[in-house]
């Protein structure tokens, strides 16, 4: 019988200062922020930031921003999209079974672009999530699967969403499940938890295969659920491994529960998230293989979503043994024990864990009981109950970016937009933030306040006008009706899904 | 020499719970919120709320709202504007020198409508204020005076704005002056502090006189400035009273400083708020009197703005002795000593102080040293250094409204929108909230969270999409340029002001 480990989880205070604005520059930025003022005061003839920006051909400079921030990304007139190149020659390495390790240090620009692409797919699960407890559709996607990418400006990536995934939970992971305050609501038991998408013909040609993506939603703030994460390991049923009970893979109870829970009494989870997603993956793989195409699966997710991505990848690799399965996770916690990691390795699942050094979440669960204990195997003896990370790690550092505040900000360190900003600027372990990074820096402050004040981007600016309220014909402010197409429906969502129009 | 009193000001903790949402109804509402659920559970044939709303012809009822909330105002399809009646027959009582006292209990519906009108003029100074520290126009009005009422939906009132007032301060009333984080900004020293408006021909006919309004901006949250209010009385210079030094009126130092400060080094306060507003009042009075019209002045303001209104009224009545001067203030603190109050009375200034019983601000300054001490005159001897309220009081009670939470909420009690909601429903000291109140209840939650959750209005919903950020042609999120017409300009604002087009 296997032991069950309870790992220690520290209660981490949320930084309440992260969104506050100070009229005074932080003392460690004193020199740079004071410099432009000095120029004016002493009547210097040369405006240094302006001169640099003129040399770089980046348009009008604003004098109060420190010189170091005048890269392409700091300016308002550079396109935000990195060049799209045909990367099919590296298909095996990027989207196949071949290892990523040669592409990580320095980070290959093609892989960097792909990581950002998948990160934006994961980000979409936040940006389109209805968090409003007064909305009768709280916990659903604001937009139907057909309009999701268009509404979020992600159509440029050349994918179409084929199915939405919903999840429920029997366990108390506090507040991961958002609920409406309405008595009548689209669903009391389920939340929109992610989606399946597939590359269109053009994108498939560019990357060298038909790419199925599964993106899993996480939780925006680590405090929401990590504080009470029990870290209770539970056996992962894997029919292939019945013969070897000692190697039983075990995974965190709460994650598994979200992935596998279902109930006949619900509208959206008569089948579990696992069943929904696997049915769709199998359908798409069969469809494209019948047409003679190479198919790959990339599972992505941030935070809790990264944990679900690993469970999903494990299941997909088990069910469809010859399918290349890649996982790109962002700020994901540990999920299972050593045997679970070994199984993923045996099944050929490639895992890239993108991690921000200052983010606490990837240190959980198992702050004490983790893969670091392997050194003491002789002492600890049985180590199957210890949490372990799986795969390669791309380690980012908040200090690499000149645009970010360096103060303690638990939410900011964990935010997926912080991750994507750091990936976009990452060159290698030694190099600093790349000058040619083009992703819009303002996105970092969508939900948080990590950007330095000199950039003049308000903290948490991603918000609807009047929290979505509209003034009706009678002059009253009311919750708007959703457009019929965006109203969730278990019937529409459960019918055999039509492939994206572009295919 | 007069004594200077330092009154005691309590440090009041801000309720941080006011905007939190609970999935469970408050225990004191248990019965009402549970009722509809019970109806469904037991399969009652009659939906009581629906029946009531059908009787009242108020459209579709939503079953989860307690029955008591189904008045006209709770529904989505009743116009929000109360009937406009010709009130000129009560001109002397409402807009002239005659006393309001006969109209207050029960509150005359014509006066109620006028109070709400002036309250909305005061509210406009918040709704149009640029609070964004990343905006280069932080501290100004978002809209030019010509567009203010149109942008805020106040054109219905039949007034035109003729001048904006700006104020600076030499004293430390913490945070009343909002500043931009920009190095280059429209003004480092001044804030938009209010405006002068005048009734158009139609509205003047309706109310029986040409009505000049001055609306003064206050501060949104009491904690912003009240915590450090020193309550230091300072002599108010009044040239008419030079002969009677013992009767010297004294007013709170901080309020007076905002009203009278000026500096040649500034762009917007080469003249003080006092000078700006008095120049405009005199100009308008002369203009309309020359045309043989009856002219009245109504000064309004909330919180700090109510204090400024009193100073302004005192000065206007002193300068133009035959002008009827009315003050309608909302949640205003005490301003001066007994002699100041006596002078206002002598000058014939009518003051109506609208006060919410639960609001702390009207109790300041002078929580201990106030007009209540008059009883002990024999003991205290000299009472000129004691703060006193002036005029009639219309006392509202949060508990009168069935729509409001009753928990402690310092900001909510003080919010001007709470005041306007309670005025709209007020009948008399004895009666409950009036069923025929029509003002949109959702407005209460513009900046706060006083509305009961059953009404499904998010707390603090008054917000710009993406905090005003816009996505530019290059795909980058940036602070938008203001429309040229709305960019503040000391030259435009200081030129002789054209009268509203409608006049």
Lowest-pLDDT range of A71-75, B17-21, B210-214, B231-235: B17-21
Q: Are residues A46 and A184 in the same domain?
A: no
Answer yes or no: do B49 and B186 share one domain: no
The CA distance from A410 to A19, in Å, is: 12
**Does residue A75 lie in a domain region?**
no
Measured in angstroms, the CA of B484 and the nearest CA of chain A are apart by 20
For residues A66 and A196, membership in a common domain is answered with no
Alpha carbons B50 and B24: distance in angstroms, whole number: 23
Residue B180 is assigned to a structural domain of this protein: yes
For A301-310, what is the mean pLDDT?
Answer: 95
Q: Is the pLDDT of residue B112 over 50?
A: yes
Show which of residues 324-383 on chain A sit within 8 Å of chain B, judged by CB atoms.
Answer: none
**Phi and psi dihedrals of A297, rounded to 5?**
-120, 130
Q: Are residues A312 and A347 in contact, defined by beta-carbon separation less than 8 angstroms?
A: no
Among all residues of chain A, which has the CA nearest to that of B477? A442
Is there a contact between B466 and B481 (Cβ–Cβ < 8 Å)?
A: no
Domain membership of residue A52 as a residue range: 25-70
* Gap from A38 CA to chain B (nearest CA, Å): 12
ipTM of the predicted assembly exceeds 0.90: no
Q: Within 13 Å of residue B10, how many CA atoms lie on the same side as its CB? A: 11
Whether residue B16 lies inside any domain: the answer is no
Across the interface, do B466 and A467 touch by the CB < 8 Å criterion? no
Mutation target vs A (from B127, B134, B439, B481; most A CBs, 10 A cutoff): B134
Distance CA B366, CA B345 (A): 21
Which pLDDT tens digit goes with each residue over B166-221? 998 766 666 677 888 777 778 888 899 999 999 999 999 999 999 999 999 987 65
Whether the predicted pLDDT of A391 surpasses 80: yes
Model confidence at A266, in pLDDT bands (50, 70, 90)?
A: confident
pLDDT of residue B495: 41
The reply to whether residue B179 touches residue A23, judged by beta carbons under 8 angstroms, is: yes
Residues of chain B contacting residue A460, judged by C-beta atoms under 8 Å apart: 467
Partnered with residue B394 across adjacent β-strands are: B354
B18, B303, B329, B401: the active-site residue? B303
Spell out which residues of chain A touch residue B81, defining contact as CB-CB under 8 Å: 475
Average pLDDT over residues B36-49: 35
Does A32 share its domain with A163? no
* pLDDT at residue A34, as a whole number: 33
Mutate which of B35, B73, B441, B466 to test chain A, going by most A C-beta atoms within 10 A?
Answer: B466
Q: Is residue A2 part of a domain?
A: no
For chain B, the maximum distance between any two Cα atoms, rounded to a whole number of angstroms, is 81
Query: Which range is least confidently modeled, A54-58, A221-225, A344-348?
Result: A54-58
Same domain, B336 and B454: yes
Sign of the Cα torsion A351, A352, A354, A360 reads: positive
DSSP string, A131-157: --TTSTTTTSBSS-TTTHHHHTT-GGG
- A198: three-class secondary structure by DSSP: strand
Distance from CA of A74 to the nearest CA of B (A): 10
Average confidence (pLDDT) over B415-431: 96
pLDDT tens-digit readout, B463-482? 999 998 998 888 899 888 88
Percent of chain A at pLDDT exceeding 90: 49
Q: In B, which residues are within 8 Å of A461 by CB distance?
A: 466-467, 469, 477
A280 and A350, same domain (yes or no): yes
Which of B80, B453, B465 is nearest residue A181 as measured by Cβ atoms? B453
Residues of A in contact with B179 (CB under 8 A): 23
Q: Which residues of A touch B76 (CB under 8 A)?
A: 472, 474, 476, 478
State the residue for tokens 């996982």.
A327
Chain A residue numbers with beta carbons less than 8 Å from the beta carbon of B440 are 475-477
Partners of B461 on chain A (C-beta within 8 Å) are 466-467, 469, 477
**Min Cα separation A363/chain B (Å):** 30
Distance CA B479, CA B471 (A): 9
* Cα–Cα nearest to A115, from A321, A351, A286: A351
Q: Is there a single domain that holds both residue A185 and residue A245?
A: yes
| pLDDT exceeds cutoff 90 at A162 | yes
| Pair B34, B121 in one domain | no
Q: State the pLDDT at residue A376.
A: 54
| Residue A483's pLDDT band (cuts 50, 70, 90) | confident
Backbone conformation region of residue B429, classed left if phi is above 0, alpha if psi is from -120 to 50, else beta: alpha
Question: Residue A49 belongs to what H/E stretch?
Answer: helix A48-55
Confirm or reject contact between B184 and chain A (CB < 8 A).
Answer: yes
- Given this model, what pLDDT does residue A338 score? 86
Q: Are residues B52 and B157 in the same domain?
A: no
Q: Phi-psi region for residue B303, left (φ > 0), alpha (ψ -120 to 50) or beta?
A: left
In a domain, B48, yes or no: yes
Q: Are residues A469 and B458, on separate chains, in Cβ contact within 8 Å?
A: yes
Of the spans A1-10, A62-71, A375-384, which averages the highest pLDDT? Answer: A375-384
Nearest beta carbon to residue A474 from set B77, B181, B457: B77
Using a pLDDT cut of 70, give the percent of chain A over it.
Answer: 72
d(CA B4, CA A489): 70
Give CA–CA dist B394/B354, Å, rounded: 5
pLDDT of B371: 65
Q: What is the C-alpha to C-alpha distance for residues B402 and A268, in angstroms, rounded to an integer?
A: 37
Same domain for B49 and B177: no
Residue of chain B whose alpha carbon sits nearest to that of A467: B461
Collect all residues of chain B within an 8 Å Cβ-Cβ radius of residue A463.
Answer: 463-467
B397-425 b/e with 16+ CB inside 10 Å = b?
A: ebebbbbbbeeebbbbbbbbbbbbbbbbb
Please say if the pLDDT value at position B122 is more than 90. Answer: yes
- Residue A304: helix, strand or coil by DSSP? helix
Interface contact flag, A476 B440, Cβ < 8 Å: yes
Among candidates A64, A181, A467 on the partner chain, residue whose Cβ is nearest the Cβ of B23: A181
CA distances from A443 to A152, A406, A455, B307 (A): 13, 17, 12, 42
Mean pLDDT lowest among A79-83, B148-152, B388-392:
A79-83
Mutation for A interface: B467, B472, B481, most A CBs within 10 A? B467
pLDDT digits (tens, 9 = 90+) for B283-332: 999 999 999 999 999 999 999 999 999 999 999 999 998 999 999 999 99
- CA distances B82 to A43, B69, B73, B110, B439, Å, are 60, 19, 11, 10, 8
Asked whether the beta carbons of residue B440 and residue A181 sit closer than 8 angstroms, the reply is no
Residue that finishes a domain, picked among A7, A40, A70: A70
Of A37, A63, A79, the CB nearest to B475: A79
What is the 8-class DSSP label of residue A334?
P
Are A48 and A125 in the same domain?
no
Express each pLDDT in A74-94 by its tens digit.
456 677 777 789 999 999 999
- B87 and B94 in contact (C-beta within 8 Å)? yes
Interface of A with B in 52-91 (CB under 8 A): 63-64, 76-81
Instruction: Report the residue of chain B nearest A132, measured CA to CA.
Output: B458
How many CB atoms neighbour CB A11 within 10 A? 8
Q: Which of A28-37, A188-197, B149-158, B295-304 has the lowest mean pLDDT?
A: A28-37
Q: What domain count does chain B have?
A: 2
Model confidence over A407-435: pLDDT tens digits? 888 889 999 999 999 999 999 999 989 98
Residue B440 clears pLDDT 60, i.e. is over it = yes
**Residue among B183, B442, B479 minimizing CB distance to A63:** B183
> Which stretch, A53-67, B215-229, B439-453, has highest mean pLDDT?
B439-453
Q: Is A82 part of a structural domain of the chain?
A: no
Residue A466 — pLDDT band, cuts 50, 70, 90? very high
CA neighbor of B394 nearest in space, from B314, B451, B309, B329: B329
Residue A275 sits in the same domain as residue A308: yes
Closest partner residue to B458 (CB to CB) among A134, A443, A458 is A134
A-B contacts (CB, under 8 Å):
124
A478-483: Cβ within 8 A, 24+ apart:
A478/B76, A478/B442, A479/A134, A479/A135, A479/A136, A479/B456, A482/A137
Cα nearest neighbour of B36 on chain A: A183
Residues of B in contact with A72 (CB under 8 A): none
pLDDT at A384: 46
CATH number at residue B378: 3.40.50.1820
The C-alpha angle with vertex B25 and arms to B24 and B27, in degrees rounded to 5, equals: 110
Average pLDDT estimate for A118-139? 93
| Mean local confidence (pLDDT), B336-341 | 89
**Unique residue bearing structure tokens 């936040």:** A126
* Shortest CA gap B479–chain A (Å): 8
Residues of A marked active site are found at 303, 359, 414
d(CA A296, CA A501): 20
The DSSP secondary structure of B323-377, one letter per residue, reads: S-EEEEEESPPP-EEHHHHHHHHHTT-EEEEEEETT-SGGG-S-SSSSGGGGGGH
In terms of residues, how long is chain A?
Answer: 503
Give SS3 for B58: coil
In a domain, B31, yes or no: yes
Residue at A324 is within a domain? yes
């Amino acid at each position: 019988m296997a032991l069950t480990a309870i790992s220690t989880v520290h209660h981490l205070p949320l930084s309440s200062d992260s969104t506050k604005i100070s009229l005074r520059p932080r003392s460690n930025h004193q020199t740079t922020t004071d410099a432009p003022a000095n120029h004016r005061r002493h009547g210097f003839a040369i405006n240094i930031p302006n001169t640099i920006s003129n040399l770089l051909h980046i348009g009008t400079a604003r004098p109060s921003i420190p010189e170091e921030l005048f890269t392409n990304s700091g300016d308002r007139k550079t396109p935000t999209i990195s060049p799209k190149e045909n990367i099919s020659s590296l298909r095996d390495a990027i989207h196949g079974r071949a290892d990523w390790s040669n592409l990580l240090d320095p980070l290959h620009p093609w892989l960097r672009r792909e990581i950002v692409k998948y990160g934006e797919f994961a980000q979409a699960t936040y940006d389109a999530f209805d968090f409003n407890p007064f909305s009768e559709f709280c916990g659903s996607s604001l937009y139907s699967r057909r309009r999701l990418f268009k509404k979020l400006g992600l159509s440029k990536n050349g994918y179409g969403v084929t199915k939405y995934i919903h999840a429920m939970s029997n366990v108390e992971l506090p507040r991961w499940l958002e609920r409406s305050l309405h008595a009548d609501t689209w669903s009391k038991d389920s939340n929109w938890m992610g989606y399946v998408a597939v590359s269109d013909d053009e994108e498939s040609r560019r990357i060298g295969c038909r790419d199925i993506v599964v993106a899993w939603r996480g939780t925006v703030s680590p405090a929401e659920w990590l504080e009470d994460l029990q870290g209770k390991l539970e056996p992962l049923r894997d029919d292939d491994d019945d013969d070897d009970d000692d190697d039983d893979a075990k995974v965190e109870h709460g994650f598994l529960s979200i992935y596998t829970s279902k109930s006949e009494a619900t509208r959206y989870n008569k089948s579990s998230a696992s069943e929904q997603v696997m049915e769709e993956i199998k359908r798409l793989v069969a469809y494209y293989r019948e047409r003679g195409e190479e198919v790959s699966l990339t599972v992505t997710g941030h935070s809790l979503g990264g944990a679900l991505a690993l469970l999903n990848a494990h299941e997909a690799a088990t069910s469809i043994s010859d399918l290349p399965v890649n996982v790109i996770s962002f700020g994901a916690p540990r999920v299972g024990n050593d045997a679970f990691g070994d199984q993923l390795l045996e099944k050929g699942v490639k895992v890239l864990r993108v991690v921000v050094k200052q983010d606490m979440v990837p240190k959980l669960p198992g702050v004490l009981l983790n893969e670091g204990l392997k050194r003491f195997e002789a002492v600890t003896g049985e180590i199957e109950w210890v949490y372990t990370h799986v795969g390669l790690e791309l380690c980012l550092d908040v200090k690499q970016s000149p645009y970010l505040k360096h103060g303690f900000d638990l939410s900011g360190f964990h935010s997926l937009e912080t991750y994507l900003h750091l990936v976009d600027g990452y060159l290698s372990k030694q190099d600093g933030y790349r000058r040619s990074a083009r992703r819009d820096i303002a996105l970092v402050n969508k939900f948080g306040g990590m950007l330095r004040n000199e950039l003049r981007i308000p903290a948490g600016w991603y918000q609807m006008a009047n929290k979505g309220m509209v003034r009706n014909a009678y002059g009253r402010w009311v919750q708007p009706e959703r457009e019929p197409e965006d109203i969730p429906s278990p019937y529409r969502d459960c019918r055999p899904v039509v492939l994206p129009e572009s295919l």
